[in-house]
Structure 1
Amino acid sequence: MPDRFARREFLKMTTAATAGAALAGTMAARAADEKAEKTVRIGIIGTGGRGHGLMGVMLSMKGVQVPAVCDINPAALQAAKDSVVKAGQPEPAAYGDGPDAYKKLLARDDLDAVLTATPWDLHAPITVAAMKAGKYAASEVPCAITMQQCWDLVNTHEETGVPCMMLENWSYRRDNLAVLNMIRKGLFGRIVHCHCAHSHDCLDHWFYDKQGNKRWGGEYLIQRNCDQYPTHSLGPVLSWMDINCGDTYDHITSTASDPIGIYEHFKRKFGPDHPALKTQFKQGDIVT
């Protein structure tokens, strides 16, 4: 395959590929209509903003049913039940009586898969429990926050054989998938270096709210100094460079700046007397 393509040749190639994909999709849809469609039954653990949003996407898909939901926040749990009913499905069983409520959901025998969208520290424990219960397991980002949790996920998958996936959305952006396709087509030759970054200041809506009150995620800025979810930047690159699918990391280094911007944010927006200015933050502004 030549190292370089003319622009017109590349457009012809991608147009043909798109048409082919559309035709294949139409043929697959017709074949599916001819067979009895299998319903995929998914339980949702964590039905707050992120979990509820993901559940909404699933409810819009043909052949997906949500028989059970779980959240210790009564309002979030009720909102999830209402959304399932509004989508035309039976009211789901609801679990919310304490931090171990998810175990009751996992004990059900009518679920094919479980999606976890809880606070971060629960992602790995719940995902491990889901695999042990024989349910396909999907975890929001990050799927683990310690090395031990990473090994727990790997070991449990290898012991049970149950699939497990972290839902890293940046790996599936159209532009990142387009780059992956071009790499596999050989347009760039051999890839020897990639540079990636995730420049997204989440301080005033993810870790703290607009009024400067700490949300559950804010505790991680106090306790940890790290790239809080590195796969937003690394996810696409792992595919581009075949990491763990032909190549591996030899070593990883991480360097962080001081938390200067965090303090400046609260001082500028809320004044010098805001309680956050007395908080000892570990999280640096920039992690490389």
Structure 2
Amino acid sequence: MSLSKITAVLNLTSPIDISLPMGEAPAYRFTAPVAWTYRFYTEPYGGFGAPFDTFLAIFSDEQMANMVGFNDDVALDNLLSEMKVTMTQGQTYFVYVSSAEQAGVHTRLTVSMDPSATVASSLLHESSANDGSMTEKQIIILSNGVFASDVANSVTVQTLPAGQQMVITRNSNTQLTLQLTGKAVEHESKHRIEGITVTIPKGKVVGALSNVVSSPFGIAFTDTEAIVRDVPQDLNVAAGHNAKGQLVQTKQNGMVLTEWIYNGNGNVIQKIVHE
């Protein structure tokens, strides 16, 4: 059998449902968009239902002289087919799918890169200024995929602190940098945030069948410590200041007289007088 007249095209992340009678064995041309390892696999027709016993063969030439991959069953208890093949950018390969039994072909064929994203740091920390700002950066690393050149404008980040914004930079085909700008409105230790994730739309990752969501990370804040300075004992009055030197309370005989509360910008938002 020769594949020289094969015209049907298999595209990355575009499943093809195949239903042909016995005696017909479909084949497809696939041109690798980038140099990578691709996963070819069969699924139930339409994406649901009972699996169909298939086998896959991939050749690098039209005369079927050079087989680069073959698979019958994924496992002893799985009759579907799957294999990973490393391919050269721009080269066309020929994918042959057939029934492993004396029957027609009723299956779905897909090729993907199965990308995933992880973060380099599990926790980012508030800057030493203790004002809700962040100087640490997060690195997002992509596996089994390639970022589109304009990916930075499409990335979203879930659960950011109020008052902070994100800036995304594409460093390479497989790496992004996340920088948080602005100042968190609430930034005491009790305001720590966990479970932050970065989402990259599937259209901005070559080889993705769905949106790519990174592993989670957190943001930790530092408490603002109060510094209490005692005045001469004969007055029996004390004033408390925070780490920024702002007056936060006054005391007489150990009893709080007045308290001042500030926002993230250092402005007084509430004064409490205790009688």
Structure 2 length-normalised TM: 0.19
Larger fraction in strand: 2
Structure 1 length-normalised TM: 0.18
Larger fraction in helix: 1
The structure with the larger Rg is 2
